[in-house]
């Protein structure tokens, strides 16, 4: 397998995991998180700093997930009491504050110089192309675990409660459910999922700096959810693969066209993604895959409705 193909598949996995995290928070729970990239960055830096301190990579990743989940829960304690618009602003503001902190606290994060030499899991046991394949396999396992957790939640009573909170939280409250508590738990679980993607990012690139973590990460996650289908995990996987395939495949357009510079080609690639989103929203507004819903069977002929 070529290095380019391996890199593309890792990008698909990172996009899919962030999309699943947002789908849990927003797709199921109705919690808009514009600061997704901030939690992603937090996990990446936590993983990198712990790895630099000599902590084994897998243990560093576990600690980063716990930290991201904890901070997500703390932020949500304030944010989830707000309406959707203000919740989006609060999470975005938090992420920007975190990015400024990472950029300026050079004693801790080395600022714009970034962190280099972040060790990957199982790095010492494999070398060359085998190391990339092993990391790809590790990333696939992480994606499957996140996907499995999402599916368990979505098909459980908690998932049905989350859909109810998303659609009408007042009705759910009348049924005796503690809406705020469920929301902050959902936000924390989504933060842990984002942490998986952030840690994999740090491991794969082995170097991180603040310029890698921008709102485009959040934008791609929303694209994955909107195109795949809000509340649908298989749809997020399909849309993540489609978007990355389109972005990477269009990288070679200039080989055929030959009259665009790098900046024009980058704009054209983003325009193609935008066009794909418009077409999906226009002709298939529910996304690639419709959200799973329990169905009530038809009553037998002549039976009295209960």
Structural domain boundaries of the chain? 3-213
130: pLDDT confidence band, cut at 50, 70 and 90? confident
84: pLDDT confidence band, cut at 50, 70 and 90? low
pLDDT at 305: 46
Secondary structure (DSSP) of 178-230? -HHHHHHHHHHHHHHHHHHHHHHHHHHHSEE-GGG-SHHHHHHHHHHHHHH-T
Q: What is the CA radius of gyration of the chain?
A: 21
Residue 146 tokens read as 């996140």
pLDDT at 275: 85
What does pLDDT average to over the chain?
87
**Is the separation of the CB atoms in 174 and 161 below 8 Å?**
no
pLDDT at 298: 52
* pLDDT (tens digit per residue) in 162-195: 999 888 888 898 888 888 899 989 999 999 999 9
302: pLDDT confidence band, cut at 50, 70 and 90? low
In terms of pLDDT, which residue wins out, 86 or 106?
106
**Is the separation of the CB atoms in 197 and 205 below 8 Å?**
no
* Mean pLDDT within 257-277: 76
pLDDT at 300: 54
306: pLDDT confidence band, cut at 50, 70 and 90? very low
pLDDT at 199: 97
Q: Where are the alpha helices (DSSP H) in the chain?
A: 3-22, 36-52, 57-79, 84-104, 106-109, 129-154, 157-167, 169-174, 179-205, 215-228, 233-249, 253-257, 262-283
Buried b (16+ CB within 10 A) or exposed e, 196-230: bbbbbbbbbbeebbbebbebebbebbbbbbbbbbb
């Amino acid at each position: 397998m070529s290095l380019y193909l391996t890199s593309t598949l890792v990008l698909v996995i990172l996009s899919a995991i962030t999309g699943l995290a947002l789908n849990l928070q927003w797709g199921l729970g109705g919690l808009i998180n514009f600061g997704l990239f901030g939690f992603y960055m937090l996990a990446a830096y936590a993983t990198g700093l712990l790895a630099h301190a000599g902590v084994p990579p897998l243990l560093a990743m576990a600690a980063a997930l716990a930290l991201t989940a904890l901070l997500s829960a703390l932020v949500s304690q304030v944010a989830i009491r707000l309406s959707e618009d203000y919740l989006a602003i609060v999470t975005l503001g938090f992420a920007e504050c975190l990015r400024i902190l990472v950029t300026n606290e050079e004693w801790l994060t080395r600022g714009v110089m970034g962190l280099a030499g972040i060790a990957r899991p199982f790095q010492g046991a494999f070398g060359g192309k085998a190391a990339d394949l092993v990391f790809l396999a590790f990333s696939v396992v992480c994606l499957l675990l996140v996907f499995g957790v999402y599916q368990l939640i979505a098909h459980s009573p908690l998932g049905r409660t989350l859909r109810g909170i998303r659609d009408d939280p007042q009705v759910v409250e009348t049924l005796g459910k503690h809406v705020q508590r469920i929301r902050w738990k959902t936000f924390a679980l989504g933060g842990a999922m984002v942490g998986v993607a952030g840690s994999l990012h740090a491991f794969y690139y082995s170097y991180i700096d603040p310029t890698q973590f921008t709102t485009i990460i959040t934008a791609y996650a929303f694209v994955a959810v909107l195109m795949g289908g809000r509340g649908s995990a298989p749809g997020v996987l399909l849309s993540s693969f489609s978007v990355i395939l389109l972005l990477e495949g269009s990288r070679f357009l200039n080989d055929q066209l030959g009259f665009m510079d790098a900046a024009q080609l980058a704009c054209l690639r983003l325009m193609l993604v935008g066009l794909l989103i418009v077409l999906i929203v226009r002709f298939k507004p529910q996304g690639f895959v419709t959200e799973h819903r329990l169905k009530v069977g038809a009553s037998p002929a002549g039976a009295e409705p209960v």
